[in-house]
Structure 1
Amino acid sequence: MNKLLNRLVLGSALCGFASLANAAVLEVQAEIKPDPLNPGSAEIINNTPASGFCTEYPNTCNTRKIRSDSFNISFQSSGSIPVGQVIPFGIPATWRTFTVAHSSIPGATADIQIRIAGVGTRYRLSKTAQEIIGHPGGETDFGYHAILWAPSWAQAIPPCQSVNGTGQGAWGNGTDFSAFWLTPENVTTCPRYSRDYEIPGMSLQRLDVHYELRAVRPEQLISGNYEGSYTYSIGSDFDMGGLTASDPSMTFNLNLAVKQDVNVKMSADSVALAPKGGWMEWITHGRRPEKILGDLRFFILTSSPFKMDLSCSQPGVGTCLINNGTHEVPVDISVSLPSPWVDDADQPVARRPLKIGGAGLEHLKPAGLPTRQPSLLHFEVQQDSVATMHDDSSYRGTVNITFDSDI
């Protein structure tokens, strides 16, 4: 729970006082924690355990600061692959937008974008690469595979970018090869074709992807979990040419944990309550004031929604009390927030009562870009209570104002 608790001391004297079925699915666990001072730049952190290429070659991926997640989708050739046949390896590298919904707040949604920033696979030949090219000697396992393709699966045709290290990717069984390429936004395919030899048969054992996620308006996210899905089509979004896929689609199920912090700066930690115009009327004319009051400025240094609550060292009926040791009176507390802050009904917040339990202030949000103008807490002891207060006496009490982004 992301709370900011402000403790205020009030004082006065009468003389001065916040998955889809039948499709390959990846469960994505991610989190985002916007900086209250720069919330629009927040990045989504992917906590999903890596799989596929980057678990086989972790140093290669760590050096490039990438990750891979493997979908259990296979692709099978229907027969032999003749010389010159192209496997297009079509890739959806541009940003796509989908909607996620808050798991506990009905109607609270957000737009998330996803793109495929890297792609790879582990292919398997029906015969060893050495057998296909006629058993010549003198080559490494990597070299035999490289002879079959233009370019080698370890290489990438620009604008795709290579990830495999030199000589990296070939498995010792002679049939398997792992490859991965990065895909900038202008990529549509990372093609390769059989060069000089007919390949009697092959399959892609899986589909590995490096994907990027970003929130469209991270500053508007509410603390808690958001859930949503995005599905890519196999055959149109991912095009493997004549290879037959085991699944028609692949789905990302996103669970996004939002951890917003409320950043509030109070102008002081105490408030002196006094009559409007000061104490001179009482001092010089003996006129008891109609009410005593005081305001405290504070600044909301965040743009995330939050709620407010009140607790007291001396609780009364819904509000706090101040006392002189033998006598106590209630203090009415209210809050005013500057535009564009509004409540859950999109109404301005002006002298809104702040009660123990926070009723009416459970969801405060910006309707636009916050201006960093000051907010106000208002404290008032009403006339009927002032009339009972003891002369030549000081009244004190402590209130706690909580700003909580976990709404």
Structure 2
Amino acid sequence: MTLASMAIAQGAELNIQAEFKPDPSNPFFNKFENKTEPTGYCFFYPSKCQANNMFSLRTPIAFNSKHPIVAKHTDPRQGAIFYIPTEWRDFMVTHSQTGAQETVRVRIVGFGSQYRVAPDDIRLLVNDGLPGIDIGPAHRMMWGVSWNTPPGNCSGYSDTVSYNHIDFTFFWTTPSQAPCQKQAQFKIPRFRYNYLDFAYELQTPNPLKMSTGSYFGNITYTLGPNEDFDMGDVMIPTDSLLSLNFTLNVQHTLKVAIPPGGNKVELTPKGGWQQWLQKGRVPEKIYRDQTVLISASSRFKMQLSCEQMMGDTCAISNGSHEVPVDVLVSMPNGIANDGDSSAVSRKPLSVTTAQVFKSTFYVDNRASSLHFEIQKRHVEEMLSEQGNYKGNITVIWDSDL
């Protein structure tokens, strides 16, 4: 079978995973972490990829010449030329349960491969079939300059190069959406790129605005002449499509801790009952501010559930008479009102309407306050009645929005 007659396969798929999990030691780091094991360039040179915030994968996609590459061809598309999709591209990821969608951006920032000349030793191709030249100079003679020197619109890394008498391994970065090309100085009967390495950069959504769970999405690139990955008119890919399947896992924290005894709330006036007992002065209110420790990294809602209900709030009763209890909440810095991002200070809670809050950064074991209050006119009613007033009020923190 000749290279020109090879069939184009349906497509190749690669899976990319990223994860967000709040880190108490770094609460302001609100980004996804790429959990995909690198292959190709970043596997061999991890420090360079980390320094440039890029990741790489190797695909088995090869490119084969459909006819010989002519020496000193004048049309760049008849030789070694590379158009790489370097621009940012958007695609949607969808929550597996809720259907909520977020935008992810990806761009290709580098590529590499291993070219192969055939059927002869490169030293014979550049020296009229005669031996007597070293392999390294022969590769340079083929292109007029070392392949390790990237053409104008690409850049490269010198430590990525390896070669033998038929192969040359390379990796170039692609800072702009423009072709990179090399001109063969000698005829190459058959030419091949043995695989496709590519490096990519991601821009992920703010995980603090996303729900716990998994989001899935994909983006597909085309390969071949005048497609996304375009290696000219001579080099034909073994696959015409490259699909990147993304999974974004969000693992939020919402934890509430009430100090010992904090589940029993006794409402008293400021300064105690002395003003009432000694002077008959009705307190402006009776209240209790209860500290609650909260850890949160996402949006959540709060609502009341009551044993006894009056209007939109809960009540306590002496058995025959009941009075409403106002329940309010104050949050630490890092948790804001969902609508306008304002600070949460004495926000009323109700039975019928949930109040939604959001994390502006990860809050870990910080103090918030629940305010329980009965206002003066109701305190006056209570003082004219007999018996102890009591009731159960349940405060609900819920991350399921």
Residues 61, 294 of structure 1: alpha-carbon distance in 2 compared, 3 angstrom cutoff: closer
For 1:208, the equivalent position in structure 2 comes to 197
Question: Could you say what secondary structure the match of 1:147 adopts?
Answer: helix
Shift of 1:257: 1.4
2-structure distance, mates of 1:91, 1:71: 15
Shift of 1:148: 1.6
Residues 61, 276 of structure 1: alpha-carbon distance in 2 compared, 3 angstrom cutoff: closer
1-structure distance, mates of 2:387, 2:143: 93
Q: How does 1:68-107 map to 2 (within 5 A)?
A: 68-85=56-73, 86=76, 87-106=80-99
Contact 1:309–1:403 (8 Å) recurs in 2: yes
The amino acid that maps onto 1:163 is: Y
Shift of 1:288: 8.6
Deviations 1:219-251 (A, max 9, x none): 422332211111222233211111112222212
Shift of 1:340: 4.2
Question: Could you say what secondary structure the match of 1:273 adopts?
Answer: coil
The amino acid that maps onto 1:231 is: T
What is the percent sequence identity of the aligned residues?
Answer: 34
For 2:134, the equivalent position in structure 1 comes to 139
2-structure distance, mates of 1:331, 1:37: 39
For 1:240, the equivalent position in structure 2 comes to 231
Q: Work out whether 1:118 is the aligned partner of 2:94.
A: no
Contact 2:303–2:349 (8 Å) recurs in 1: no
TM-score by length of 2: 0.68
Shift of 1:204: 1.6
Deviates more, 1:291-300 or 1:143-152: 291-300
Which of 242, 264, 267 is the equivalent residue of 1:273? 267
TM-score by length of 1: 0.67
Deviates more, 1:302-311 or 1:123-132: 302-311
Which of 187, 191, 194 is the equivalent residue of 2:181? 191
For 2:123, the equivalent position in structure 1 comes to 130
Shift of 1:144: 2.9
Any gaps of 5 or more consecutive residues in structure 1? 1-20, 323-328, 344-348
Deviations 1:114-134 (A, max 9, x none): 111111112222223223223
Q: How does 1:303-342 map to 2 (within 5 A)?
A: 304-308=298-302, 333=327, 335=329, 340-341=337-338
Residues 75, 385 of structure 1: alpha-carbon distance in 2 compared, 3 angstrom cutoff: farther
Which of 35, 41, 64 is the equivalent residue of 1:47? 35
Deviates more, 1:151-160 or 1:82-91: 151-160
For 1:226, the equivalent position in structure 2 comes to 215
Question: Could you say what secondary structure the match of 1:88 adopts?
Answer: strand
Residues 277, 72 of structure 1: alpha-carbon distance in 2 compared, 3 angstrom cutoff: same
The amino acid that maps onto 2:132 is: G
Shift of 1:69: 0.2
Shift of 1:100: 1.0
Residues 64, 248 of structure 1: alpha-carbon distance in 2 compared, 3 angstrom cutoff: closer
For 1:255, the equivalent position in structure 2 comes to 247
Which of 154, 157, 175 is the equivalent residue of 2:148? 154
Question: Could you say what secondary structure the match of 1:188 adopts?
Answer: coil
The amino acid that maps onto 2:218 is: S
Shift of 1:53: 3.6
The amino acid that maps onto 2:63 is: F
Q: Give me the CA root mean square deviation.
A: 4.9
Which of 169, 182, 191 is the equivalent residue of 1:178? 169
1-structure distance, mates of 2:369, 2:391: 20
For 1:32, the equivalent position in structure 2 comes to 20
Deviations 1:55-102 (A, max 9, x none): 4xx1x4434535420123222211100123432210111221211111
The amino acid that maps onto 2:104 is: I
Deviations 1:240-270 (A, max 9, x none): 111112222212111011234569999xx96
For 2:5, the equivalent position in structure 1 comes to none
The amino acid that maps onto 2:195 is: R
Question: Could you say what secondary structure the match of 1:165 adopts?
Answer: helix
Residues 84, 400 of structure 1: alpha-carbon distance in 2 compared, 3 angstrom cutoff: farther
Residues 114, 40 of structure 1: alpha-carbon distance in 2 compared, 3 angstrom cutoff: farther
Contact 1:53–1:121 (8 Å) recurs in 2: no
Residues 123, 365 of structure 1: alpha-carbon distance in 2 compared, 3 angstrom cutoff: farther
Question: Could you say what secondary structure the match of 2:123 adopts?
Answer: helix
Question: Could you say what secondary structure the match of 2:16 adopts?
Answer: strand
The amino acid that maps onto 2:173 is: L
2-structure distance, mates of 1:137, 1:317: 98
1-structure distance, mates of 2:211, 2:182: 45
Question: Could you say what secondary structure the match of 2:140 adopts?
Answer: helix
Residues 135, 48 of structure 1: alpha-carbon distance in 2 compared, 3 angstrom cutoff: farther
1-structure distance, mates of 2:302, 2:198: 43
Question: Could you say what secondary structure the match of 2:111 adopts?
Answer: strand
The amino acid that maps onto 2:98 is: I
